Every structure is written in C-alpha cells, then in structure tokens.
Structure 1
Amino acid sequence: MRRILAGLAAALALTGASVAAPVDTGHLEAELVAAASGVTPGGSVRIALRQKIDDGWHTYWRNPGDSGEATRLAFTLPGGWSASPFTWPTPRRLPVGPLVNYGYEGEVLLPMTLTAPAGAKVGETVSLRGKADFLVCEEICIPESAELSLEVPVVAGPAPADPRWGPAIATALAAAPKPARLAAAYQPAGATLTLAVAGAPLQGADGAGAYFFPATPGMIDHAAVQAIERGPQGLTLTLTPGDDFKAAAAPPALEGVLSVGGRAYEIAAAAGPAPAGAGGLGPPPRAAAPGGLGLPLALAFAVLGGLVLNLMPCVFPILAMKAASLVGHGREARAARLQGLAFGAGVLATFVLLAGALIALKAAGAAVGWGFQLQSPPVVAGLALLMLAVALNLSGVFEVGASLQGAGSDLAARGGAAGAFFTGALAVVVATPCTAPFMAPALGWALVQPPAASLAVFLALGAGFAAPFVALAFAPGLLARLPKPGPWMDAFRKALAFPMYAAAAWLVWVLAQQAGPDGLGRVLGAGVILAAAAWLYGAAQRRLLAGGRPAAPAIASALFAVVALAAALWPAYAAPPLAGTARASAKVPFEPYSAERLTALRAEGRPVFVNFTAAWCVSCQVNERVALSGPKVAQALGANNVAYLKADWTRKDAVIAAELARHGRAGVPLYLVYRPGAAEPQILPNILTEGAVVRALEASRS
C-alpha cells in the first residue's frame, strides 16, 4: 500500500502543483505560484503572489508612502495549514507630483512560506484559496481584487523544483532585504533627523544612491531629499521627520529598509548616538565626482582654476592692493621678490586654513562648501568693515606702518613682507565668492576625499592663484619697466582706494540680502563708527608726528573701533523670510527651488532649468545680469514651456548643499537643464552667455 501511495505521489510530483489561470483584474494579472511541485508532511514550500502590472501602472509596498495602500492577501486554508506574511521585495520610489510613494512596476513576486501539518496525508492535494486586494495606480487609482487558487500535492519525499517558478522565487528571496549585523541609531537634529548605520556589510561602501524606506507611514517626509554622508564603516542619512514623528513621542526604534549598493537590509535604529564609523567622509564619491576624477586630474584642474580665479570680478579690488605693493618697490628686485614670496605664503596659508575649516565642518556633519564663510552674516559684516578700513587707509585717513610716500627700501624694511602676506590672505578671503572654470570639479572631488587628498587640491588651487603675482615679482625684465617711486604714488594710492570702497558696498548689499533692512542699518551704522575710529587714529598719528600727546585720540579711536565691531557682529542677525511663491515681478519669472517642486515638474513632463546661486557669489550675479535676465531668455523659457527654479544658497541650506554635492560641486554657481525623460540633467558652464542659455533651453524640449 505504501508503495502504491509513493508511486502516486511521484506521479503528482512530476505533474507539479496545479496553478489556476492568471486572473486579469483590469490593470494587472495576478496568480499564486509555487517554487516546488509538492510539500512533505510537516514540511514547507515557498509560494508567491505574482503580479504582472500594466505599463505605466503600479502597486504598493507594505508602507505605500505619501498615499496608496499595500497589497493584501487573505487565505482560506485547511485545518493545520499556515502561510507566512509576504517577504516584501525592496520597493521603488514613485514620485507623483509633490508626493513620493513606494511600490512596484512591471512584474513582481511577493514570496510566502506554506507549511503543512505533520499529519498531512501523502497523496492528497491541498487546495489553497485566497482573495488578493490591490490598489493599482497611474494618474488615477483603482481598487482591484482577484479570487486566486493553487493546488499543492502532499508528497513523501523532497519535491522537484518547478522549472519556471522555483528559480524566479529564489531570485526574489535572494534580492529581498535581509537582517544584517548592523548597528543603527537615530537622533533628532533640529528640523532634521539623522539615521546612522555601521557594520561589516557597509565597510568601504561608497553610499551612492543610498535610501531609507521607513516601515510605517508618517515617520519621515518621503518626498524630502535624503542627504548621504559616508563613513569608513557605514553611512549617515539626514532625513526630514514626518508628521507622526513630530506629533508623537520619539519611537523606541525607527524601523525600515536601507537600500545601498544594490543590496537592502532590514534595520531597527534605536534613539542614541551614532555608531562609530558612520560618517566623516563626505557625500558619496560617485555622486560628487562624476566621470571618475582622480587626484592627478583634480590637481591639474585646481592649478588651472587658481590661475583663472585671478581674472574673476571678486578679485579685482585686491588686484589694486597687489599693484600698489609692487609699484612701491620700483626697481628694487630683492624687495619685490620678498614681497612676492610673502604674498604666496599668505595665499597658501589661508587656503590651508580654509581647507582645514571645511574638512572639520564636513566631518562634524555640516553641509558647507566653497564660500561657506559668506553664508554667515557676521562674517560678511566683518569683511565689509575690513574693506572699509583698507579703503580709508589707502585714502590717507590713517596709516598702517610706513606710508607709500616713504617707498623703496624703507617700506620693505618696515614691514612690506608682512603687508604682502596680509594682502595674499585677504585676496583668498574675497576670492571665495567666485568659482572659476576648472575649480568646480576639483573642489567637488576634494571635499569628499580623505583629508590628505583634500588638502593637496586646496594647495594646488592656492599655488595657481598665487603664481602670476609671484612670477611677476621674480621677473627682472618686467620689474625694470616699472616707474621709479615718487610723489605721484600718493595720488595713485588714493585712487586705488575706490575699488575697496566698491568691495565694501558690495558686501553691505550681500548682508542686506541675508539679514534684511535691520541688518543693513546695523552695518551702515557700524561703518560710520569705524570711519570715526579711523579718523581719530589718524589724528593721533598726526599729533605724534607734531610732537604732541596722542593718548586721547588713540584711546577714543580704540573705543570707537570696539563699538563698531560690536554693532556689526552682535547680537545675531535675524534672517528675513525667503519668498515662497513665484517671482512674477522679475524680468525672467522663476520659482523658489525645492526637491518636491522639481519632482512635480518633471512628473508633468516639463523641461526644468535650475539656477543654483547666492547673493555673495559675484560670478552668479554677473551671469544673472549678462546671460539670464534678458528678453531672449524669457522668450525661450516661455516658448519651450521650461520651468525656471532658483536655488538660493545665500544662507545655509542643507538640501541645496546636498544637491550641489550630488552633481560634483562644492559651491555655486551651478546651472542644470532637465530634459523630459532624461535620467540626468545637462550641466551648463560656470560662465554663461545669453546665446548658450537660449540654445540649451531650446534643446531641452527634445
């Protein structure tokens, strides 16, 4: 009898589980399939709910995201039989207007485990019945359902794998998120939430494209950008808390799926400090350095960028100070060489300090880039006062060390090298609002590398920036052509004050964009007080030269200077609200940038032009007036239905910083043109012309 039953079981095994015909629900086909041709008593077999979804439509993950509903399956099973919940594959992000949902497109298998009771009789066939409910969406969502069935034989021994569904289910299970030995922790950080994950599976991972899918809705803002920070043992994601997270007490664990590097891991992050090795290396190198830019090419780009930086408009005022220092030496080659070396040392030292600050801030998790110091209103106010003080000095209101009337060896001996060092340092500080050609990819690469490589790139940039002035100082033929020092130099010096006044005025304008009318009034008042301090100091100097006592005006000058600095730097500047609506009054109308708005416009199939800019970026402002504000650009935008978004980085913005890093940039300007259907945008040059912009906009509709 047992042999007969075994023979019948073998025959059933060869026949396999009986699969009913797929059910067409309207916008997908659904069926139950099995990985093997039978199940043993007390054993189990993998089965799956298969969906073949119509093109352009999708169904949902266990957390559907901002809208939608997860697929459900209700079984009717014989007594003693059981089926596990779905093993959910890693979902895809599905942007719909300003929302982001999580789900599946095309064909998807949702595996389960079917377990037979120990008393199941060999030779019988169990009929599985289940009702599946789907929400299937395109531009509209339609609830659909299917009555499904699957016949599974009970066999005496291991059943052969189904040749079609066995491998398919095994592949789905292999790709599904897995529990892993990962340490995970989350921490609220103001308006954001950091999720730090570290462990052996993530060691050395570049983190490109990493994304956290929360297990339950409402924990995070699904549409917000998830900024990525690499670490030697893991990564840190900056998330935006959702309404449920804000409204309720912090959850004991933030659960979900971390997708990174083509793999996915189930994680449960507890509240607490980040595990060691989860950050400190900057954004992913693939995102920050497209095209595989390496150290040699980055160094070459940095040197070229430094050379070109001398020609950028933000450096023009300092060119006056350089010219004055060399002319002051006339034909004295030795003094000129000393000044050239001192200027170069000042440039390199300041680049090293900037690099160190950037590296330290990046390691601390700050979203900063080239020109980061000008995002701080107190720094802008301090620089404006410094430029004003330099201009007043050049105008003869007061003297620092020797005056230019005593030019020649006396000037060099009395501190010409120190002045040149200061000039080099100041040149670097005021050069940071500009990003020259070749600089952008070099800096974008440098800021996601280990500290040694980052420092090397910044030194190369400094070397390129200092090279023209140092070479001029060491060129005897050129020095011999310089005019001899004389009384004419006093007038020349005073004329050179006006570019410095212009620089101070520009910085005051930048501060007004950052801090509004109140900030403008503060810095103007501080400037008046500083001018009084400079005049009193000059009066003290003149009294000393006349043989009088300079104590009273000198003390008054020091007090005025302290008051000016206090007025400019303290208390903290209040930020004016940014415009939240489209700027219809602008010559070329635009909308404020947000990742959600960009996603919505692209979902509509519209071309999009994104301008990453800042008020303190001189290159940006020049491009704005020369290439982006004319009627031809406005006409090209309208004729090609191009949406214009402006990402203003005048004040710190972690989302904009992360987006810049994703495109391999450490600062502004950056200009992107998104064509409908294209995965990546076209990156326009840093220096624009109106014709180049119009051509890019006209090509965007194709």
Structure 2
Amino acid sequence: MLLRRLFSVLPALVVALALGAPLLPGKALAAPVQTGHIEVELVAQEAGAAPGATVFVALRQKIQPGWHTYWRNPGDAGDATRIVWTLPPGWTAGDIVWPTPEKSRVGPLLDFAYTGEVLLPVPITVPADAQAGSVVTLKAAAAFLVCEQVCVPEDAVVTLTLPVVAGMPATDPAWGAKVAETLAKAPKSAGLKAVFNLQGGVLKLAVTGAPLKGADLSGAFFYPYSGKVIEHPPEQAIERGPEGLTLSLTPGYDFTQGTPPTQLSGVLALNGAAYEVTATAGAIPPGAQGLGAPAKAAGASLGLPLAVAFAFLGGLILNLMPCVFPILSMKAASLTAHAHDAGKTRVQGLAFLAGVVVTFLALAGLLIAVRAGGDAVGWGFQLQSPPVVAALSLLMLLVALNMSGVFEVGASVQGVGSGASGDGVGGSFLTGALAVVVAAPCTAPFMAGALGYALTQPPLLALAVFLGLALGFAAPFVLLAFIPGLLARLPRPGPWMDVLKKGLAFPMYATAAWLAWVFSQQTGSIPLALILAAAVLTAFTAWLYGLAQARRIEGKGAVVPFVLAALSLVAAIALVVVAARAAPAAAPSSVAETAPSGPGLAAEPWSPERVAALQAEGKVVMVDFTADWCVTCKVNEGAALKGQRLADAFKTSNAVLLRADWTKRDAVIAAALAEHGRAGVPLYLVYPKGGGEPVILPQLLTEGLVIEAVEKAAKG
C-alpha cells in the first residue's frame, strides 16, 4: 500500500521539481489523489494568496460514473462530505459553500447527492502578517461516503501549495474560472421572504420576492438543511402566486414527534436558479398562492423538429390573421411596383425575407433576454411600451404620407416598401420589419404550442423555433415573388399603379390612428394630445421635405424647407419624449374597472381569486385574455363577444365573462398565460360549472362557437 501511494505521488513530485513550483511565487501546486471511486484534489480560485485577503480553495471530486457523494443534508441515507483542515498559524477556514444537489431516488428513499464532478469551495482567510514572497501548504483531510447500490467510505489527504503575493493575485488559469462559476451558481440569499404554516397534516412553505415574479416555478423543490423537518420522498406540490409560490411538504420527525422548530432553513431550487431561504412561522401571504399549480407549457414535449414545423405553420397562418391586414397594403404596393420584372421582384422577395427574419430573431432575442432577467413579459411585449407605440404610430403616418406622394425617400421606402423606383431593396426589407413589429404580437393556430416550447428551451433552441416562425410568415410573399406566372396576371405598369399605391395608403393612416388610440389607453388623454400634436408636426415635416425635393428637381433653392423640415421633426420627437414622460404609472391591467363587452353583456375584471370565487358559486366562467394592441382580440370582441343573443346565453347558462387586459404589462396575467402554454394574446378559457380545468377556445371566435362552449360548460 505504501509503495502504491508513493508511486501515485511520484509523478506529481517530478513535475513539481521540474517546474520549481514550490520555489517560485505566482504558482499553485496540487496533486490529485485516487480514493477508489473518486479523484480528489484541492484547487484554488486564485493563483496566490494576498496578506489579509480571502482565497477560495475548493475540494474537487471527480466521481466515478454511476456513483455519488452527498450534500450537507444527505437525505434519507448517506453522509455528507467532511473536511478537516491543517493550516499555517493564523490561517483559518470557513464553512463549505455547498452547490445545489441533485435528487437521487433509491427505492422508497430520496437522497440529495452529487454526481460527475463537483467543487466544494471553502473560504480561507489569510492573516495580515503573512509574508509576501513565501510559500504555504494547505492540507485537508477529507472523508466521503460514495455510493452506488452499495456505499463505501473513502478518505483522502490532499494538499495545495500557494505562494503569498503582494497585491491582487491573478486568477488560477486551470481552475479559477470553474471555482468562480461554482460560487456564482451556489444558492444565495436574495431578499426572499418565507413563512411556514402547519395545516393539518401538511406543512405549507410560502416564499415570495422579486426573483420569483414571472419565474418558471415548475419543478421548484425545497432542500432542507435539517434531515428531520420534512419527509424527503413525497412530492412537493406547488401552488403559484403573483409574488411567489407555496410548497406543500410532508412534516417530518421534528413536527410529528419532536419539538417543532421556530425556523425552517434550506435551499429553494428552481429551473436554473437556487436561493437560500429561512422561514418563520406565520400566515401564508396572498401573493404566494391563488394561481394554481404550474402547468407544463403547451408544446413543451413537442421536441425541436415538431416545434419548428408547428412554428412554420403558425407563421403561414399568421398572414391570414387580422393583425396583418394593415400591412397588406405595403406588401401589395411592393409587388405591383415590379410585377413584370422577375429579377427585381425576386430581389425584393429576398429583401422582404431578410427583414422578417432579422426582426423576428431580434425581437425573440430581446424577449429571451428580458425574461432571463426576471421580467414577466410575453410575445408582443414591444407594444406594451407607450414610447414604442407612439413611435410606431408616427412611423406609420410617415409611411402613409409617403405612399400618398407627399414626399419620397430613396426608392420610395414605401419608402418603406413600395419600391416605386430603383430596386426597392431597402423598402422591402423595412416592409418585412414593420410587418413583424405590428403583426407578431398576435398568435395564430399552431403558434401557441411552438412558442410554449421555445420559451422553455435554451436560447439557441428557442431562436431555431422563432426562425421557423419567421420563415413561415415570409413564405407566401417570397413564393409569390419567385412565381412569375402569378405576377404576370397583373396589368402592365401604368398610371394605375400610382393610383393603387395612394389608395393603399389609407390602411396605413388607419394603423397610425389605431396605434394612437392604443397609446391613449396606456397613458391617458394628456399624453394623447401631445402625440396628436406630434403627428401634425410629423405631417408638416413630410410636406416640407416633399416641397424641398420638388424645388431641388426644379433647380430652385431647397435649403430653407429642408432646414424647416429638420426643425419640425426635432419638435415632433421632443413632443413624443414629453408625452412618454407625462404618462401616468401603469395600473395593473387585471384590476381595471368593469367595462361593457356589448349590449346587455358586461365583462368583469379578471383575477385568479375571482375565478375561484365564481367557480365556488357554481357559475360558468369565461376569461378573455386581451390587449388593445391585439387586432385579432378587438375583431373577436366586435364579432363574437357582443350582442343580445350572447348576453341571453350567458344569463341562461349562469355564466360570467371576465376580462384580463394585457395592454399594459401585468406579471399576474403573464403568469396565467404561461400556465396555459401561451406567450401572447388572445387566449379564451371557459371553466365548466362545478369546477375543473378550463376548455381553451380557438383564437378566431364566432358568436355561435362561444355560445356552444358556454352551454356545454353549464352542463358540467
């Protein structure tokens, strides 16, 4: 045994002597030790230790496949790793920083374990009088219980040689980044508030705080520091709330036979995050409950190929949704400009495709980044921002004025799309971009499952799904551009094209007015007045710019109208900024005042508590998740959710309509949409009489379909 240990250490000694590591400052040296089923060594975050500083030294375990070691609370069986340090005089070691463990089920038991490679960092305090230029050796005696079907106690004595350096030591090139990553991912206190309450035979643990708002709470699990406060194997049921969650735990020995604790400490692990919590006895707060259990996002089990296929189909169908109708005029004008020039038409088709793809991926990337930052946002989030809505309204006004011939921008940017002159590449690209910005907030059939899958995946997989959506959305226009036979049916170029373009400007005027109305719903009347004034200045800018263009063509001076146009544009932008700042703080949409949905039928404000209360009364409940910027939603409200026939059906079926208005950001609504696998609106739910899961209605409604669903729900 002695000879084997000597030969195992000999290579490291040879390397050390060859490099002169113990003699040269600025290097850390350690040698791995094989214990049988684990390779063990000490590794450092820093390549040296500065006097008076703290250096993190980690016990690295590379565990044999199929085997595991244990967390600080091993669970139902096992034993935690223990470290006994031998340090130079004045040096002290702190507690282990334990990474979040894995759940390991062995028969009826549940253990908390580590597999593969794990680093257990420990803070080592360096005395202020440590001599710079010296070399110290840190020694740790580690004991493990390593298990597969059987458990084997193993131990190792490992050392790490560190130079003492003046100033800030460099990061260890081999292990510094991995130790830093382990420390960054380790559970930390994040200002969460936690209470527990023993209700009958169930121990309720409620946790609330900013990190949990809008977070993915599916799979949440509480790892207690003590092995006696809860029974580990039972499932931990999750109930969501607008501010956090409540876990239903099975009380353990301390609650059933021993002395109930005054505190309940441990780690709350979510998907990709973990937090230290310390709960005290108390009542469960309303913010930790009321939204039901997390549901797997619709489409979460689709798999990438099927999700991309669904996204492509959803993008195709999105072209038929009312959201896209205002943009059809831009597409039509762009097509007619070069309908009989196959080469230019194809170039425009590819430019439109590029605009759609780039904008879709940009919006998707921003959405993923914002959600990763903890904000509860969904698809269409850009139109929940009043400044963005105001800017889009004025941009659509400029597009309409351009199509009306008030001014020209390069190749008539439809000037953002008509391509009336030149190749119109830039215009076609911007047409695609604008189509996405305005149309993407709505969802079409097949999109819901695809988006539900995408928002549960890593960023690259999510972007692949959004790419499929973009390709489907752009496909009809691109195919039309590449099929000359279809375009050849159009009349030959002539004056009719200019008439058509000017006629198609009016849907763009309507879009600008609609966006201004959306802005007013988000902000109020005073900011709306400022935006209307900005619209007048924008139109004045366009007229001056067109006048300057005409004078320049005639060979006359154009400096004055150009300067006046620039000043007018600056004034319009200033009014937009003032309007955005004058907007009042957005009240939660879900607590809006009751508003009539149509003759004889009123929609009450939605809340999870209101749904539960109405179900308890035995009523049928229909929930309309909507937003003022969602054209499909407004079409459905006008065509299917009004009228005396519908009101009579609701009265006969003892049904109530609730409206969840997502025009402004609302974390509670976002969480409810996510529960049903949706990232945007519209969403229509019908809860049956007597309780139970809701039926999800199609995104395009008819009055008959709604009445049929309500009457069916009334039968229980």
TM-score relative to the length of structure 2: 0.61
Aligned to 1:103: none
Matched, 1:661 2:674: yes
Indicate conservation of the 8 Å contact 1:302/1:438, yes or no: yes
Alignment counterpart, residue 446 of structure 1, candidates 447, 451, 454 = 454
Partner of 1:617: 630
Q: Secondary structure at the match of 1:700?
A: helix
- 1:193 partner letter: G
The 3 A distance-change label for structure 1 pair 380 and 195 is: closer
- Where 1:185 maps in the other structure, the secondary structure is coil
> Displacement of 1:286 after TM fit?
4.8
**Which amino acid in 2 is paired with 1:417?**
V
What are the equivalent positions in structure 2 for 1:522-671 lying under 5 Å apart? Answer: 522-570=530-578, 571-572=580-581, 573-575=583-585, 580-583=592-595, 587=599, 588-671=601-684
Conserved? CA contact 2:189–2:276, under 8 Å: no
Q: Distance in 2 between matches of 1:681 and 1:449?
A: 26
Matches of 1:637 and 1:562, distance apart in 2: 52
Amino acid aligned to 2:241? Q
Shift of 1:580: 4.7
- The 8 Å contact of residues 413 and 419 in structure 2, kept in 1 or not, is answered as no
- Letter paired with 2:360: F
Residue 341 (structure 1) aligns with = 350
Superposed CA deviations along residues 201-243 of structure 1, whole A, max 9, x for unmatched, are xxxx983476999x9xxxxxxx994369xxxxxxx8699xxxx
Instruction: Write the mapping of 1:43-122 to structure 2, written as runs, cut at 5 A.
Output: none
Please say if residues 379 and 440 of structure 2, whose CA atoms lie closer than 8 Å, have aligned partners that are also in contact: yes
- Cα distance in 2 for residues equivalent to 1:329 and 1:415: 8
The verdict on how the C-alpha distance between 1:254 and 1:224 changes in structure 2, with shifts beyond 3 A counting, is: farther
CA distance in 2 between partners of 1:459 and 1:254 (Å): 49
Please tell me whether the aligned partners of residues 377 and 514 of structure 1 are also in contact (alpha carbons under 8 angstroms): yes
Query: Is the Cα–Cα contact under 8 Å of residues 620 and 713 in structure 2 kept in the other structure?
Result: yes
Which residue identity does 1:600 align to in structure 2?
A: A
1:207 aligns with 218
Give matches, 1:156-175, under 5 Å: none
Number of the residue aligned with 2:373: 364
Question: Whole-Å Cα distance in 1 between the matches of residues 275 and 596 of structure 2?
Answer: 47
1:483 shift after superposition: 2.0
| Structure 2 residue 518 is the aligned partner of structure 1 residue 510 | yes
Equivalent residues, number:
476
Query: For residues 454 and 576 of structure 1, do their structure 2 counterparts lie closer, same or farther at Cα, with a shift above 3 Å needed?
Result: closer
Give the CA deviation at 1:493: 1.4
Separation in structure 1 between the aligned mates of residue 527 and residue 683 of structure 2, nearest angstrom: 28
Residue number in structure 2 paired with 1:682: 695
User: In structure 2, what is the Cα distance between the partners aligned to 1:336 and 1:637?
Assistant: 52
| Aligned partner letter, 2:622 | F
Q: 1:89-113 CA deviation, whole Å, 9 max, x = no partner?
A: xxxxxxxxxxxxxxxxxxxxxxxxx
Distance in structure 1 (CA, Å) of the matches to 2:541 and 2:507: 21
Q: Given residue 464 of structure 2, which amino acid in structure 1 is its aligned partner?
A: A
2:306 maps to which of 294, 297, 302:
297
Q: 1:477/1:237 Cα in 2 relative to 1: closer, same or farther (>3 Å)?
A: same
- For residues 109-508 of structure 1, the aligned pairs below 5 Å read 183-187=187-191, 193-194=209-210, 207-208=218-219, 225-226=240-241, 268-269=277-278, 286-289=295-298, 292-402=301-411, 414-508=422-516
Q: Is the 8 A contact 1:381 1:569 kept in 2?
A: no
Distance verdict in 2 for CA 1:371–1:312, change over 3 Å = same
- Structure 2 stretches lacking a partner, 5+ long: 1-107, 115-119, 121-185, 194-207, 230-237, 248-261, 281-291
**Structure 1 vs Structure 2 CA RMSD:** 3.9
The 3 A distance-change label for structure 1 pair 410 and 453 is: closer
The TM-score with structure 1 as length reference comes to: 0.62
Distance 1:554 1:195, change over 3 A: closer
1:632 deviation in Å?
2.1
Pair 1:601–1:679, CA change in 2 (3 A): same
Q: % of aligned pairs identical?
A: 54
Task: Quote the Cα distance in structure 2 between the aligned partners of 1:580 and 1:421.
Answer: 39
Against the structure 1 CA distance between its residues 486 and 449, is the aligned structure 2 distance closer, same or farther, given a 3 Å change threshold?
same
2:707 aligned to 694, 698, 701, which one? 694
Asked if structure 2 preserves the Cα contact closer than 8 Å seen for 1:193 and 1:238, the reply is no
Aligned partners of 2:386 and 2:522 also within 8 Å:
yes
Q: Does the 8 A contact of 1:394 with 1:493 survive in 2?
A: yes
Kept after mapping to 1: 8 A contact 2:598/2:641: no
TM-aligned CA deviation for residue 448 of structure 1? 1.7
Looking at structure 2, the residues matched to 533 and 404 of structure 1 have their Cα atoms a distance apart, in angstroms, of: 16
SS of equivalent residue, structure 2 residue 296: helix
2:23 aligns with none
Give the secondary structure class of the aligned counterpart of 1:647. Answer: strand
**Amino acid in the other structure paired with 2:468:** A
Name the counterpart of 2:32: none
Distance 1:526 1:238 in 2: 49
Q: After superposition, give the CA deviation of every residue in 1:601-649 in whole Å (9 maximum; x if it has no partner).
A: 2233322111111011111111111111122221122112222211110
Distance 1:267-1:568 versus aligned 2 partners, 3 A rule = closer
Kindly indicate whether the alpha-carbon contact (under 8 Å) linking 1:435 and 1:667 is maintained by their aligned counterparts in 2.
yes
